[in-house]
């Protein structure tokens, strides 16, 4: 039996722009937020992103791509669970199965702990670039070993740190900084982004990988641009700085992107719109 038959609810909400031909991207959602520690509600993120996607323009003149003419396949959401180990095992199996199709995977969260399950389904030499206000390198948080605040430490323990690039951190504790330095995790700082160096640094970093997994925690953005997140942090990057870095990834082979930590409860629509635009742009960039 396929893991998709076992674990997916098969209730897609994205209206396919064009159902003819092979899909250019495969989408699924992971409505999980059981380890969240500040503003719970990111479990509702996947459907909020879909709703926004269905209501924004998906023509990209800068790229010469109109997504209205392509097939985007939405598999729906994973089944509900409140157990983080069960969730990460489930999404690891789903992602591993879907990765064999060699299509761009778009994963909608949900809290960031899900990335431990999805990224580790790819080969260890897959590049990993994460945009996040936090390092998520704690050994544990609130007596939980695997959580949204510790997932990246678990990734390093399982896959090593040599293929990780962390972008935009501005809020962390001493324990995380020590772990970061011990494992020589490569970073692009929020200061470097503000100085205008972000796009070139991202492009140069990804040139070392034949395939890349992109993880976008929406709290990397300043709350002025993305108020609807689970753990907002002041003094973040702008939406324009974010998109400039996304466009800089255009020459790279992106195998998978996850967009996480959207919390519709605290959103005014801006964060969901940004998430949908990020999703649309990365799909458009994947079309040759």
Domain harbouring 242, CATH code: 3.40.800.10
What digits encode the pLDDT tens for the residues 250-284?
A: 989 999 999 999 999 999 999 999 999 999 999 99
Long-range Cβ pairs for the range 150-157 (8 Å, 24+): 150/113, 151/112, 151/113, 151/114, 151/115, 151/116, 152/115, 153/179, 154/116, 155/115, 155/116, 155/119, 155/120, 155/128, 156/183, 156/185
Residue 21 has pLDDT above 90, yes or no: no
- Exposed (0-12), middle (13-18) or buried (19+): which is 267, by Cβ within 10 Å? buried
Helix (H) or strand (E) holding 127: strand 127-131
Residue 16 lies in a domain: no
Residue 141 lies in a domain: yes
The arithmetic mean of pLDDT across residues 156-175, rounded, is: 96
Residue 231 lies in a domain: yes
Distance between alpha carbon 1 and the CA centroid of its chain, in Å? 28
Domain count, the chain: 1
Residue 75 has pLDDT above 90, yes or no: yes
Domain that holds residue 94: 3-7+24-285
Calpha distance 154→262 (Å, rounded): 22
Per-residue confidence band for 12, with pLDDT thresholds at 50, 70 and 90 = confident
Calpha distance 235→132 (Å, rounded): 13
Residue 46 lies in a domain: yes
Residue 13 lies in a domain: no
Whole-model pTM: value is 0.97
* N residues, the chain: 288
Calpha distance 123→89 (Å, rounded): 16
Q: Which residue has the tokens 């005014």?
A: 268
Residue 28 lies in a domain: yes
Residue 277 lies in a domain: yes
Calpha distance 71→21 (Å, rounded): 7
The arithmetic mean of pLDDT across residues 38-62, rounded, is: 96
Residue 18 lies in a domain: no
Residues in a beta bridge with 214? 129, 257
> Which pLDDT value is given to residue 171?
94
Helix (H) or strand (E) holding 106: strand 104-109
């Amino acid at each position: 039996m396929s893991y998709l038959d076992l674990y997916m609810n098969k209730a897609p909400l994205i209206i396919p722009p064009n159902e003819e031909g092979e899909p250019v991207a495969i989408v699924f959602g992971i409505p999980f937020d059981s380890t969240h520690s500040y503003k719970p509600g990111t479990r509702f993120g996947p459907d909020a992103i879909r709703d926004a996607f269905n209501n924004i323009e998906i023509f990209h003149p800068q790229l010469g791509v109109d997504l209205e003419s392509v097939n985007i396949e939405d598999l729906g959401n994973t089944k509900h669970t409140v157990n983080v180990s069960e969730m990460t095992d489930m999404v690891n199996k789903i992602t591993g199965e879907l990765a064999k199709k060699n299509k761009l995977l778009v994963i909608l969260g949900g809290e960031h702990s899900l990335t431990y399950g999805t990224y580790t389904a790819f080969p260890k030499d897959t590049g990993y670039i994460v945009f996040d206000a936090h390092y998520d390198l704690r050994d544990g948080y609130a007596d939980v070993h695997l959580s949204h605040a510790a997932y990246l430490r678990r990734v390093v323990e399982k896959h090593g740190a040599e293929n990780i690039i962390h972008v935009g951190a501005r809020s962390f504790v001493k324990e995380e900084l020590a772990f970061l330095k011990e494992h020589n995790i490569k970073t692009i700082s929020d200061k470097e982004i503000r100085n205008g160096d972000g796009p070139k640094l991202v492009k140069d970093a990804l040139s070392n990988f034949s395939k890349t997994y992109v993880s976008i925690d929406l709290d990397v953005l300043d709350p002025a641009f993305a108020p609807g997140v689970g753990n907002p942090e002041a003094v973040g990057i702008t939406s324009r700085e974010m998109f400039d870095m996304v466009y800089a990834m255009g020459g790279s082979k992106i195998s998978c992107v996850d967009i996480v930590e959207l919390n519709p409860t605290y959103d005014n629509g801006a964060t969901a719109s940004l998430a949908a635009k990020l999703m649309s742009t990365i799909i458009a960039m994947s079309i040759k």
